[in-house]
Structure 1
Amino acid sequence: MPITRIAIGAPGEASHPDAIKAALAEFFSMIIFVFAGEGSGMAFNKLTDGGSTTPAGLVAAALAHAFALFVAVSVGANISGGHVNPAVTFGAFIGGNISLLRSILYWIAQLLGSVVACLLLKFATGGLETSAFALSSGVGVWNAVVLEIVMTFGLVYTVYATAVDPKKGNVGIVAPIAIGFIVGANILAGGAFDGASMNPAVSFGPAVVSWSWSNHWVYWVGPFIGAGIAAIIYDNIFIGEATHEPLPNNEF
């Protein structure tokens, strides 16, 4: 089981140059992703005088997030693995593919990247609001939790199948676009209900900058549960062998 392969990491790993570079890659990838994704909604809102919640706005958001994530994953893949999502990092941790210490570095970098992107958007747009994620009318918190679990399961399952699985072969070439596509498709499916976050960092940045925390926990609990389930299922059934390789002690 993946749970037996969870690695805490050696004490010096958090300060290892490779770990710092990987965290920086996650920081910049998150800026790229959130700036384009959140910014597309703000731009659509401005052009349509509040039409970002229309069907056209939903399609625009799905396309922008799919394109931006494809790029953000691609540019970080060779350095950090291109997680660009705390839930993806959690899924990798549960599967024994990244240590806890390095995961914490990634989480900090991802959250900071999202906040910086939203601050840049607010400044660049002359003070326009970076809208926090919220539940639509008639959608309860547990409805949203289930949505986030299922959507994030699909995302992390795709990550495992196309990027993590050692048997992926040539499929690994299309991993970034497959990951972008599943996020775009899930936004089309869930965006009208709870915004379709699938990514705690994407929810965190706008919440901090707009200081709006209503039901914010939903966008952490759902994605982390979905990511954990996907990691356990894919790793246990389809991989089944250890993949975590801690950094050698002599490199610290």
Structure 2
Amino acid sequence: MAREFQQKVFWLAVVAEFLAMTIFVFIGIGSAISFQVVPTTNVTAVQDNVKVSLAFGLGITTMAQSVGHVSGAHLNPAVTLGLLVSSQISILKALLYMLAQVLGAIVASAILHAVSPNKHVLGLNQLAMNLSPGQGIVFELIITFQLVLCVLATTDKRRTDLTGSAPLAIGFSVTLGHLIAISQHAFVGLQLSTHFSLARKCRQFSSLLIYWVGPMIGGLAASLIYDFILAPRSCDLSDRMKVWASGEMEEYQLEREEGSARVEMKAK
């Protein structure tokens, strides 16, 4: 772990995650500000679900294409948790990534707060009146589950059938999540650190449980199902612990038993 901490590429990845998250949240929340309640009239403008969903989807596609080769462009603590459980990053990198994501979201919301004439809400997540907190958690769990599953599947280096763009596929996943969630939420909680930054700015932490517990469980479930059921790895616990401690991972070659759909990985 100490050796990884001393590597320049490690810190470049953390900085890239911070910068990408700042830009991503600025784009996403900026697209949502236009339909917040106007203080002088107390009237809520018509919400453009498609506009906001596309802003988030295209924003994450752009950032994934821009810094994906540097940090992997997680841009979501739930994605980072999923990749940690999947033994693709170390515990140290996961913790610093989450910190960078939250700080990036806070900086983005602070900039929007400074430049926006509509400062009182700024897109704070709130459940629709007909949803209970438990229903909200389930909603966030399922939406994040499909996102993390998409990330794991489209970035799996063992696959030889991938011909499209992973950032574009992930962008579609984010767009779909927002399209369905915005209709049930005043603002979608798909991006955990986004909500944290807005709750901090507005001093409203009551719904943080919904927008963190649900997505984190969804990310954890997606990783476990993909890594142990859909595309199981042959590496044992000692190999996984090595990755969690030092971030090092052996290269694997993909082998399939004839007549079997089970995927096996063996070290080269």
**Superposition TM-score tier, normalisation by shorter sequence:** 0.7 to 0.9
Aligned CA-pair RMSD = 2.2
1:234 is matched with 226
Higher relative CO (Cα under 8 Å, sequence separation at least 6) belongs to 1
Matched, 1:74 2:65: yes
1:135 is matched with 127
| C-alpha distance in 1 between matches for 2:153 and 2:160 | 7
Residue 166 of structure 1, CA deviation: 2.2
After TM superposition, the score normalised by the length of structure 1 is: 0.86
1:198 is matched with 190
The one-letter code of the counterpart of 2:233 is G
1:147 is matched with 139
Alignment of 1:1-252 (within 5 A): 10-45=1-36, 50-51=44-45, 54=47, 57-126=48-117, 128-129=119-120, 130-167=122-159, 169-171=161-163, 173-194=164-185, 195-237=187-229, 238-242=231-235, 245=243, 246-247=246-247
Residue 198 of structure 1, CA deviation: 2.2
226 and 211 in structure 1: CA distance in 2 versus 1, 3 angstrom threshold: same
Residue 168 of structure 1, CA deviation: 5.0
Deviations 1:148-194 (A, max 9, x none): 110000000000110134215534x5111111111111111111223
Structure 2 gaps of 5+ residues are 249-268
Larger radius of gyration: 2
Identity of aligned residues (%): 30
CA contact under 8 A between 2:36 and 2:123: conserved in structure 1? no
CA contact under 8 A between 2:16 and 2:70: conserved in structure 1? yes
Structure 1 gaps of 5+ residues are 1-9
After TM superposition, the score normalised by the length of structure 2 is: 0.81
> As a proportion of its length, which structure holds more strand?
2
Residue 220 of structure 1, CA deviation: 0.8
